[in-house]
Amino acid sequence: MEPMAQKIVRDEVCYEPAKLFLKRHISYSYECDCHDPITEPKSIKNAPVPSALFPRSLVGPCFLAWVLYLKFVLSVPFYRQENDWRRLGFNVTRRTMSNWVILADVYYLSYIYNCLHNHLRLREILHGDETVYQILMRSDGKPATSEARMWVFRTTHQEETPIVLYHASLTRQKEVAKEVLGEYNGYLHCDAYSGYQGISGVTVVCCWAHTRRYFKDVPQPKGVTGTKAQTAIAYCDKMFKIERKLKDLKPEDRYDKRLELLKPVMDEFFSWLESFPVIKGKLQEAVNYALNHKNALMRVLEDGRLQLSNNICEQKVKPLVIGRKNYLFSTSEAGAKANATIYTLVETAKENGLDPYKYLRLLLERLPNLEFHRHPDLLEALLPWEKIPQEQCRAIPNKNDSTSVAS
């Protein structure tokens, strides 16, 4: 039989497992033959080759970038990676990979981190939060079971060049927040933790989602409706409903509309709380929380760029929490610092529409061959929102993409 026509029956997605290979860099030497070797020596030049990431190490930029991607994006700890790399024929220990992370931070990535840190302090509105962390080898002499902290500070979702910055510390003291914020002068969305209060130049904006959560935690009698806690939650829900209607407005228009629609609800809510008799238990704690932070909660009315909640910062704590459940702790303070650096680069890359793996690889390929110690301004071109990363590291769009795979 002879073929007469064809039709497409179906498409199917296939997967080709990863493979490792060795890349050997060879430098050729060249000599000049336009001189008489009797009267003067020949000129010899060696062809340049890319600099190695670390002295006497086999690891290359693409491999290390994937190791970092597995841990800090997919939350695969090094002890699991160790087994996978062994199955692919490469015997690399978890300790070696941990050392690579620290060296990458010290030699290269910390300089990009510092640039992002400096840019963050120049913004007018920030969000802040922190979560518990564990560091085994502590310099303060406390036992390994003591709680350390990982802080998160980020720009608002309206920024054209967003930044998400992580910072590791041994304590939750106010001095840590002051150290991170430095000479910052502006608004800070946060919870009511005292460590954020009283910092020079910082105007605290408290989170209404936290206020709602306090009332949500009040025990409710089964089948009973219309309790005081439920009424308080209804007030908060009404505020968030108003805010959702205003989200597409320009900041100046949102400011006017908030005074018209949101402020009366807030005033009514606090007047209602102030009429409460003194009671005991969770409900009184929730009432006290709201009344004690009334000024900071109503501060959202001062500027149309401010947010009703701090949820966008809390969402950036989640990748860290998921990773922490897998790798549990950092052995050293240097390891915790390196983790904070790489989480910063990964999450900031995501916020700027970049593929985290591509961005990490770009940095690890470029920085060893860049004289940024003598010319720090060269680092600016590698920040996530700049032309080179935007052209070379863009993530594949998920929506309205004809090549995307249907789940």
pLDDT at 44 over 90: no
Contact in structure between 208 and 311 (CB atoms under 8 Å): no
Q: Indicate the residue type of 7.
A: K
Phi and psi torsions of 215, nearest 5°: -75, -30
- 376-388 pLDDT, tens digit per residue, is 999 999 999 999 9
Strands 202-206 and 186-190: what pairing?
A: parallel
For residues 342 and 110, give the distance between their C-alpha atoms in angstroms, rounded to a whole number: 9
Contact in structure between 213 and 198 (CB atoms under 8 Å): no
pLDDT at 223 over 60: yes
Give percent above pLDDT 90 in the chain.
Answer: 74
User: CA quadruple 234, 236, 240, 246: dihedral positive or negative?
Assistant: positive
pLDDT at 403 over 70: no
- Tell me the pTM: 0.90
Domain locations in the chain? 208-307
The per-residue pLDDT for 405 is: 38
The per-residue pLDDT for 237 is: 96
**Neighbouring residues of 363: CB distance < 8 A, sequence distance ≥ 6:** 108, 109, 112, 345, 382
Please, what is the average pLDDT of the chain? 91
- Chain centroid to CA 284: how far? 36
Lowest mean pLDDT of 12-21, 39-48, 88-97, name the range.
Answer: 39-48
Count CA within 13 A, CB hemisphere, residue 79: 4
The per-residue pLDDT for 241 is: 96
Which residues face 283 on adjacent strands? none
Once rounded to an integer, what is the mean pLDDT over residues 14-34? Answer: 87
Tokens of 30: 């060249």
Assign 3-class secondary structure to the chain. CCCCCCCCCCCCCCCCCCCCCCCCCCCCEEECCCCCCCCCCCCEEECCCCCCCCCCCCCCHHHHHHHHHHHHCCCCCHHHHHHHHHHCCCCCCHHHHHHHHHHHHHHHHHHHHHHHHHHHHCCCEEEEEEEEECEEECCCCCCCCCCEEEEEEEECCCCCCCCEEEEEECCCCHHHHHHHHCCCCEEEEECCCHHHCCCCCEEEEECHHHHHHHHHCCCCCCCCCCCHHHHHHHHHHHHHHHHHHHCCCCHHHHHHHHHHHHHHHHHHHHHHHHCCCCCCCHHHHHHHHHHHCHHHHHHHHHCCCCCCCCHHHHHHHHHHHHHHHHHCCEEEHHHHHHHHHHHHHHHHHHHCCECHHHHHHHHHHHHHHCCCCCCHHHHHHHCCCCHHHHHHCECCCCCCCCCCCCC
pLDDT at 402 over 50: no
pLDDT at 243 over 70: yes
- 105-157 pLDDT, tens digit per residue, is 999 999 999 999 999 999 999 999 999 999 999 999 899 999 999 999 999 98
The per-residue pLDDT for 224 is: 67
Distances (CA, A) of 242 to 235, 269, 291, 298: 11, 15, 22, 15
